[in-house]
């Protein structure tokens, strides 16, 4: 049963520290999304990749966030420096490009910045 | 701008009651439609999807949704809810011909009392 995996599942860090979150999309999926979910803002799209190329990162604070896909099996989301307002659950999702464009979500990384 | 509206933010039902959650979108062109479910503390999972064919779509766990093109709606239904249906439900729309990035509704929180 193919799944999107994310590491770490939980991260507690101090303000100012660098945070790196990793995602392994489902093999064969060529779209990858990063979302942030909070109670206040709900689900927000941070970044979107197709065939490893970043196509949309308009939802991402550029001064501190960066997203990359060094290869087809790994997507990363970095925050440097982290701030308490970055505390949220970060989800990665992948999907096959084709007829229906559904997404498969990973379990998420719960980030707490103190 | 294209948008997705979920009119019910919070729904509370007793077990065996019928459920209908509303979803409307703002685009008149061709769309792919999805309902995702997020159980407490978990990630989003695909409940059902529509991209062509029969506008009445059946998904997992007894859920179904009907695409009514003239009303730009894709309401989710279940004839008899269970306590285990307690979750957050998200409607998502992909506006074909655009960026193929899904637009999510704000979500509906469903609580089912035993």
Q: Do A33 and B100 lie within an 8 Å CB cutoff? A: no
- What average pLDDT does the segment A14-40 reach? 95
For the stretch B18-60, pLDDT in tens is 999 999 999 778 899 999 999 999 999 999 999 989 999 999 9
Q: How many CB atoms lie within 10 A of CB A94?
A: 24
Q: Do B107 and A42 lie within an 8 Å CB cutoff? A: yes
Residues A54 and A33: beta-carbon distance below 8 Å: no
The pLDDT confidence band at residue B108, using thresholds 50, 70 and 90, is very high
Which range in A49-63, A99-113, B70-84 is most confidently predicted, on average pLDDT?
B70-84
Helix (H) or strand (E) holding A104: strand A104-105
Helix (H) or strand (E) holding B16: none
- What percent of chain B lies above the pLDDT cut of 90? 81
Q: Token digits for A101?
A: 């464009």
Q: Do B107 and A93 lie within an 8 Å CB cutoff? A: no
The pLDDT confidence band at residue A99, using thresholds 50, 70 and 90, is low
| Gap between the Cα atoms of A49 and A38, Å rounded | 22
Residues B66 and B56: beta-carbon distance below 8 Å: yes
| Backbone angles phi and psi of A58, in degrees to 5 | -65, -20
The pLDDT confidence band at residue B100, using thresholds 50, 70 and 90, is confident
Task: Show which residues on chain A lie within 8 Å of chain B, measured between beta carbons.
Answer: 31, 33, 42-43, 45, 48, 55-56, 91, 93, 97, 99-108
């Amino acid at each position: 049963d193919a799944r999107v995996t994310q590491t770490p599942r939980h991260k507690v860090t101090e303000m100012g520290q660098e945070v790196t979150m990793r995602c392994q999309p489902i093999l064969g999926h060529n779209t990858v999304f990063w979302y942030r979910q909070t109670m206040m803002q709900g689900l927000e799209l941070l970044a979107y990749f197709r065939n490893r190329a970043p196509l949309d990162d308009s939802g991402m604070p550029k001064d501190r966030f960066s997203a990359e896909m060094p290869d087809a099996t790994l997507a990363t989301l970095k925050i440097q420096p982290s701030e308490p307002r970055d505390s949220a659950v970060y989800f990665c999702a992948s999907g096959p490009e084709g007829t229906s464009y559904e997404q498969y979500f990973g379990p998420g990384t719960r980030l707490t910045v103190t | 701008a294209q948008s997705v509206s979920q009119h019910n933010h919070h729904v509370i039902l007793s077990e065996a009651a019928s459920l209908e959650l509303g979803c409307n979108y703002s685009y008149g062109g061709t769309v792919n439609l999805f309902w995702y479910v997020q159980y407490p503390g978990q990630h989003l999972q695909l409940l059902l999807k529509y991209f062509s064919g029969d506008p009445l779509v059946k998904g997992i766990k007894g859920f179904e949704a009907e695409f009514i093109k003239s009303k730009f709606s894709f309401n989710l239904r279940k004839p008899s809810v269970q306590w285990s249906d307690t979750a957050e439900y998200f409607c998502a729309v992909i506006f074909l011909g655009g960026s193929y990035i899904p637009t999510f509704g704000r979500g509906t929180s469903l609580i089912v009392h035993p």
